[in-house]
Structures are given as structure tokens and as C-alpha cells.
Amino acid sequence: MTEIGARFPQSLWNRQLPHFPSQRRQMGLLALIVLCTITMYYQQYVAGAVAPSILAHFGFSFRSYITITVVASAFGAIASLLAGLGDRFGRANIVVGGLLFASAITAFGTPSATSKAQYAGFVIALGFFEGVVLVATPALVRDFSPQTRRGTAMGFWTLGPVIASLIVSVVASSTLGFLHPWQDQFHIAGIEGLVVFVLAFFFLRELAPSLRDQLLYSVKERVILEARARGIDVEHATEKPFRQMVKPNIIIPAIGVSAFLLLYFSAVGVFVIYFSTVFGYSQARANGIGNWFWAVDALTVVVAGIISDRIGVRKPLMVVGALVAIVMSVLFASMATDPTTSYVRIVVVVSVLSAARAFAYAPWMASFTETVEARNPALVATGMSIWGWFLRIFVAGAFLVLPSIVPSTSPVADFGPHLKVLQAQYGPELKTAKAVDPTTLKEIQTSPPVPGALARAVGEIVKAEGVTSSVAVKNLLALKALPASDKAFLLAHGREVLAAQKAAPAEWQRWWWICAGGQILFLPTIFLLVGRWSPARARKEREEHERAIEDERRKLGESMLEPTG
């Protein structure tokens, strides 16, 4: 009993399995890894669902809010490279520790922030831990999944960001009506994360380096790999990791998929802001569109992974998915400047777009891990860290330029909510103000008014609204009677916001064109990944490989039966 008690704490730190686990335990471990991934992405994405409320609460400008996202992505990129140490020191403890810190920040840190600086600090810290954990988790999935099942396994891993986004949308659209405007969304995500941390703390395990540092093609090879593991020099296999992994067929596909995922990260970060500013949807209604986007994505990534395993090829699925995504992205962009676009049409387009994107991405993840294995199976975490670094740097750069491409979003996001309140409260008065020339409007607000300004204002109202002079004077007096603070806000920002609202659709359309361009850039990078195009050729190679494995298994069995002398 004493021995068990002494070994228990050590087992929580030393999480390495000396043998391949049973299929049942392997499935449990993969499910736990996916759950950890979902949790981390949930905590990372929850801010996007309540971005307008956060802007209003702290008085952020849209540009400053995006800048925080950029800095957080940059810290995440640094952390992604550090996660490459998982090849030497293991992946499981990285996941457990990162999950604890991220969950504590989400549950207790961010919602308690009282200033812009505090909020920014918590977001950046969360971005760092996200960068570490979300490189270690796909490496763990790869370790437990042979190549013949890699597509399915990566399809389930890809459920992490998708299900997380769906949870964010569902929880926000269901609870924003009665919970605190934004803090409770973080409380929910953080507490859920602490529960998952407890599960990971007690149950998450990983393969010993001598096992994970080999290429596992099929389940049948496990006995052979365990026999080979006795002779593997782990230190030698992991020497100069980045020199081994910084190669064109690692770097270029990582850049290509980052460009492909630009629309995805836009959906995560600015979908709510986009639909709120361009189509006037509430936060709950905008999140409802996200429900469709992520639900379809969740189903498709698993289906695409299974199909790629069944037919034995990945690249054709990537091409088909990317081509359909490009077409749907063009349709999505065209809707930005069409004010007659219905809610149903938006849902249909984003759903098909989401399915196409997922159809390409799940096979890509499987193929990329196989490409990394082809270089050196002992350095999978290093290869994934390069992918994570490029992905986060690309996202940081994209969001850095977003406010310049969509400048109208800043005044609409910054001042639009308050203007909407005033429009509801002072509808007739604002109609009158819109009829008066801006210069004249300022002149009549001075005390005393500029000589002749009142007469000009009355004339402009009569001309614009088709009313009599007496009615125009009455409307003008009602306008002058507005509270001083409201008049000051309207004079300072009213026309600016209205002009920005008018310009926003075309500017957002430009951004969606850029996202479609990123998907086009993705297509040629597919050719650098390992893997066959022909299912027939892939099936023939698989049969040849399985025959070779059977021969090796037979020879291994015979050698074990030979007398040792």
C-alpha cells in the first residue's frame, strides 16, 4: 500500500506508457485529447461572441481591440515554437499545465479586469498558453493513431476548434438575453476548463519516446514497433530538431493552410461584428449564424477524415474542398453589398462554405502529420510547432491590417451602439438634424447662434422634408432642446457613423475577397505534401506494405522461439 502511495504522485508527472495501450484505452485517451482541444479553443474564442459588449465596457476602439488580438497571436506564435520541446520532454504535461493556467485566466482573470491594460494582459497570457497546448494536442493525436486511421483521428481533433466555436455561439445566443453582458460567458468557459483539467491531470498519458519516435502505418505494426523501440537512440533522433524540420515541404504548406484558414479565423473573431455592423443583427442573432457555420463544420471534418482513410488518399479531397470553398467565398463576399440578402440565404451560403472548408482541412491535417513523419517521426512536435508558428504569425499579420482594409468598422463599432440608442430615443429630431447642412447645424448650436444660421436651417428643413416654415421651426426647436451631452455626441460622431455605415459593406466585401484569395493560394501548396492522388495506387502500396509487415512479424515470432543457448 505504501509503495502504491509513493508511486501515485510520480505517475501523475511521469505519464509515459511503455507499451501501446489497448484499443479501448487508446480511444479514451484520444477522446480526452479532443476534449482538451475543445476546451482551449472555447476559451480562446469566447471573446468573439461578445466583442461589441467588450468594446463598450472598456471603451476600446475597434483598432485597439484588434491590436490586442494581434499581440496575443504573436505570443501564441512564440509559444508554438516552445511546444516543439515536447519531442524531448513529452506532450502530456504541457497540455495539463497549459490547461490549468488558461482555465484560471478565463474563469477568474479576464472577467475581473477593471481596465483596458488588465484585459489586454489576460488575453495575451491566454494566447501564450493556447499556442503551447494547441501544438501539443495534435502531436499526441498523431502518436496514438496509425496512418491508416490518421484522417479519422485528425478529423476528430479538428472538431476541437469547430465544436468550441459551436459551443461559443450556442451558449452566447442562448444566454445573452438573461446573463451578465459578457463576463458570465468567460466564467462558463473557465469553469468548464477547470473540470477538464482535473480529468487530464488524473488520466492523460502519452507514449514513451521510443514508441512515438517511429512511423506507425497500421495497428498490426505495434508488436514490431515495440521490438524496434529497444534499439532506438532517442537523443540522436532528436538532435538539431529545427534544422531537420525547416524544409520547403513543411514551411510552404504551413503558410498555405494559414492563408486558407483566414476566413475561418475571421469567422471566429469578427463574424459577430460584421453581421452587427453591416446587417444590423443583434449579438444573439449574429451568433445564430455561427451555430450553423460550426455545426456543419463539425459534421464534415469527421466525415472527410473517414473518407480519406477509406479511399487511402487525401489530396483529391483537399482540392475539391478548396475549390468549392472558393466559389462559396465569392458568393459570401457578393452578399456584403446586397442589402436585400435574407437571413436564410446567409445561413445556406455560410453552411456550404463551412462544409467545403472542413472537407479540405481534415485531410490536410492528416497529410501534414504524415509529411512531418516522412522527415523524422521523432520530431513530430517540432514539425507541428512550425505549423503553429506560421499559423499564428499569419493571423496576427492579417488582423493587424484588417482595420486599414475595413476602416469604417472603427467608428461603427466604437460609436454605433450609442448612436442606435439615440436614434431610437430621438427619431424625429435626428431626421431634422440630417436635413440640415453640417456647418449650419454647428452654427445654430453656438450661443448665440451665428447670424443667419437659423434662417438657413429653417430653409434647409423646408426643402428636405417638404414641410411649412412653422413646422420646420417647431422641429428645429425640438432639436435644440436635446440634452447637451447627446447633442455633443451627435455633432461629434453622428454623421461619421452614418458615413461609415454606408461605406462598411464595400470595405467588408474587400476583406472577404482577400480571404477567397488565401484559399486560392492554398491550392498549389497541396502538391508538396506526401501521399498519392490515385486511390488504386494507394491501395496497391498499402497491400505491399501489409505483406512486408506480415513477413517481419513472422520473422520476429521465429526469432523469439529460437533457443538462446
Q: What are the φ and ψ backbone dihedral angles of 534, each rounded to 5 degrees?
A: -95, 120
Between CA 399 and CA 376 the distance in angstroms is 34
Write down the pLDDT at residue 424.
76
Helix intervals (H) in 336-468: 343-375, 380-405, 409-425, 427-435, 438-445, 453-465
- Please, are residues 265 and 395 in contact by the beta-carbon 8 Å criterion? yes
Write down the pLDDT at residue 4.
40
Write down the pLDDT at residue 502.
85
> Does the pLDDT at position 412 exceed 70?
yes
Average pLDDT rounded to a whole number, residues 154-177:
80
> Does the pLDDT at position 2 exceed 50?
no
Least confident of 27-31, 52-56, 176-180: 176-180
> Does the pLDDT at position 564 exceed 50?
no
Average pLDDT rounded to a whole number, residues 144-160:
78
Between CA 495 and CA 96 the distance in angstroms is 51
Instruction: Specify the higher pLDDT residue, 236 or 518.
Output: 518
Write down the pLDDT at residue 121.
93
Between CA 344 and CA 363 the distance in angstroms is 30
Instruction: Specify the higher pLDDT residue, 86 or 506.
Output: 506
* Burial bucket for residue 104 (CB in 10 Å: 0-12, 13-18, 19+): middle
pTM value? 0.74
Q: Please provide the average confidence, as pLDDT, over all residues in the chain.
A: 81
CATH code: domain 9-216+236-416+503-549 is 1.20.1250.20
Domain borders along the chain are 9-216+236-416+503-549, 417-502
Residues paired with 206 in a beta bridge: 16
Least confident of 21-30, 61-70, 83-92, 393-402: 83-92
The continuous run of DSSP H or E covering 2 comes out as helix 2-13
* Burial bucket for residue 122 (CB in 10 Å: 0-12, 13-18, 19+): buried
Contacts (Cβ under 8 Å, ≥6 apart) of 366: 150, 151, 153, 154, 155, 305, 308, 314
Instruction: Specify the higher pLDDT residue, 25 or 425.
Output: 25
Contacts (Cβ under 8 Å, ≥6 apart) of 128: 72, 75, 76, 78, 79
Residues paired with 17 in a beta bridge: 207
Write down the pLDDT at residue 8.
45
Contacts (Cβ under 8 Å, ≥6 apart) of 401: none
Confidence tier at 211 by pLDDT (50, 70, 90): low
Strands 16-17 and 206-207: parallel
> Does the pLDDT at position 378 exceed 70?
yes
According to DSSP, residue 340 is labeled T
> Does the pLDDT at position 469 exceed 80?
yes
Least confident of 24-33, 108-117, 172-181, 533-542: 172-181
> Does the pLDDT at position 51 exceed 70?
yes
Between CA 346 and CA 294 the distance in angstroms is 14
Write down the pLDDT at residue 321.
95
Which range of 134-143, 146-155, 291-300, 503-512 scores highest in mean pLDDT? It is: 503-512
